[in-house]
Structure 1
Amino acid sequence: MPARATDARRAAVLGSPIAHSLSPVLHRAAYDALGLTGWSYDRFEVDEAGLPGFLAGLGPEWAGLSLTMPLKRAVIPLLDEVSETAAAVDAVNTVVFTEDGRRLGDNTDIPGMAAALREHGIGQVGSAAILGAGATASSALAALARICTGEVVVYVRSADRAAEMRRWGERLDVEVRTADWSAAREALDFPLVIATTPAGATDGLAAAVPERPATLFDVLYEPWPTLLAARWSMACGAVVGGLDLLVHQAVLQVERMTGRAPAPLDVMRRAGEKALAER
């Protein structure tokens, strides 16, 4: 049921660490634009050990939760239902509470990635490269399952991570080949490069950006731009940033939690840009 403006409802983002999260800025901007004056959105420092107790203490006023690391997998056993999208990568970043108290888990990172790419004109690619093999990389692989018609090459630092990404490929029905991080410069020649690594990890690749790069999707939003993204832009390549992903996945969260659609994408993006500029 769509939310009424005067309903006193709560939502929040959980994780550890959580102080850096932009989610409150984005969701509150959406509530203001939608006229949901009774809604609030907060952040809470919660780790895996504290998650069961936190969920148990929530009252009927709670509409939903956004989850970041390290809770995306830890929450799954605590849910009543998990969407096919979230189950595909064993990662839940969104929990919606129903009127009868059920906990529904979903993943908006995957469709959020696809939406961010579509916004930049990327609806389909013949091949792609992923830099890194962490939790975000599996979501990237799931997004590529929707738009990539050929091979995905994943550049990793360890044999264990390589094996894990190949298993994800089999599960998602994506043709995955893995390569050692030492060969990561090769990734920059692909029509789509998705960088899922921590800050600074791709700085060493910036000098290798080709003369005519295609599209880079760098999931970081702070610091921004990364050195790789800056060099990519200087070479006139297309760049999709972490704020694009954050906003698109937050739009889907707002719609699921409030029942109001469409969520105000442009308003949320401007709020995120303003918050980052003020940091």
Structure 2
Amino acid sequence: MTPDPTRRVALIGRPLRRRHSQVMHDAAFAANGIDARYDLREIEAGEVADFVAQARGPEWLGFQITAPYKRDVMALLDAVEPEAEAIGAVNSVLRAPDGTLVGFNTDAPGFAAAVRRDLGMELGGARVVVAGAGGAAHAVAHAAVSAGAAEVRVVSRTLEPAQALADRVGGVVAGRLDDRALPGALAAADLLVNATTVGMLTPGVVVDPALLGEHAAVFDLVYVPLETELLRAARERGLRAAGGAGMVVAQAVIAFGRWTGVADVTDVMQEAVAPLLEGAAAP
């Protein structure tokens, strides 16, 4: 009798600089006795369609997508779940038993789970200010609006990206980082979210946490380094603050559950990825 083939999952994108996802998922497969492996596939744009066709094979559980293919892959799938449609990006795909591929997005629920776990707060009823208007900011804004946040304000260097996000997600106030209204919004905010690469690719803070009230919390999506200048400044003020490592784990847990039916592998994934996070430094 021929043994069942090893099941497969992969991450596609270009470039693939980090292996956090691979380490977390492979540890969770091993801990749960699942014969599966997680591969990293750095591919060109012209290879995406061929990869998606390959992932319909019976050995595949699904796959994940990172930049720059989170939007491109949507047209190649059989279905895209409403949340991913609203965000405008798919970062994970489930292969159904009949070979059909269903796209979903783990960033929004992963963000909400990390805020709950690491900051001890709920998005419902909160006044949220999001710095940045890219793909990550779309997921954050969608999570906050869906949870019933009292206000979600998205600010970027120019108004156009923030307004495009507001038009797509709905229920969002768009503005610029230099708006006169921003200091007042920050003073009233319950949560400031950095959804830019400031603190990772460039030094500094995108918004001064000194403008926040004493009750506010800060969530920085950057996870390399573990403590950004924004987090350090917020903690020095005595504010609750958390980095993006919790979201990295939370979104991976959600994808793993969809592929395997195993509900919560948070502890396994967190332990597996900790050495990578602790040893990382910003480029």
The answer to whether TM tops 0.5 is yes
Deviations 1:129-180 (A, max 9, x none): 000100111111110013343221111112321320220242xxx2x22222
Work out whether 1:197 is the aligned partner of 2:196. Answer: yes
Residue 98 of structure 1: how far off its partner (Å):
1.6
2:228 maps to: 226
Paired amino acid for 1:113: F
Work out whether 1:17 is the aligned partner of 2:15. Answer: yes
Residue 239 of structure 1: how far off its partner (Å):
1.6
2:174 maps to: 178
Measured in 1, the distance between the counterparts of 2:203 and 2:253 equals 28
Contact residue 108 and residue 143 of structure 2 kept, 8 A? yes
Measured in 2, the distance between the counterparts of 1:207 and 1:258 equals 41
Paired amino acid for 1:275: L
Work out whether 1:278 is the aligned partner of 2:279. Answer: yes
Q: 2:108 pairs with 107, 110, 113, which one?
A: 110
2:50 maps to: 53
CA RMSD of aligned residues (A): 2.2
Deviations 1:70-106 (A, max 9, x none): 1111111100011111111121111111221111111
How does 1:94-173 map onto structure 2 within 5 Å?
94-119=92-117, 120-123=119-122, 124-170=124-170
Q: Work out the number of aligned pairs and report it.
A: 269
Normalising by the residue count of structure 1, what TM-score does the alignment of the two structures yield? 0.88
Residue 8 of structure 1: how far off its partner (Å):
1.4
Deviating more after overlay: 207-216 vs 22-31: 207-216
Provide closer, same or farther for how the CA distance between residues 62 and 202 of structure 1 changes in structure 2, counting only shifts above 3 A.
Answer: same
Measured in 2, the distance between the counterparts of 1:7 and 1:56 equals 18
Measured in 1, the distance between the counterparts of 2:38 and 2:207 equals 38
Deviations 1:107-143 (A, max 9, x none): 1111111111121321233311000100111111110
Long gaps (5+) in structure 2: none
Residue 205 of structure 1: how far off its partner (Å):
3.6
Contact residue 128 and residue 148 of structure 1 kept, 8 A? no
Deviating more after overlay: 52-61 vs 85-94: 52-61
Measured in 1, the distance between the counterparts of 2:164 and 2:142 equals 14
Provide closer, same or farther for how the CA distance between residues 83 and 211 of structure 1 changes in structure 2, counting only shifts above 3 A.
Answer: closer
Q: Percent identity?
A: 32
Provide closer, same or farther for how the CA distance between residues 204 and 98 of structure 1 changes in structure 2, counting only shifts above 3 A.
Answer: closer
Provide closer, same or farther for how the CA distance between residues 134 and 46 of structure 1 changes in structure 2, counting only shifts above 3 A.
Answer: same
Deviating more after overlay: 142-151 vs 95-104: 142-151
Paired amino acid for 2:39: D
Deviating more after overlay: 227-236 vs 183-192: 183-192
Contact residue 30 and residue 263 of structure 1 kept, 8 A? no
Residue 41 of structure 1: how far off its partner (Å):
0.6
Residue aligned with 1:24, SS: helix
Measured in 2, the distance between the counterparts of 1:14 and 1:69 equals 8
Taking CA–CA contacts closer than 8 Å with sequence separation of 6 or more, which of the two structures ends up with the larger relative contact order? 1
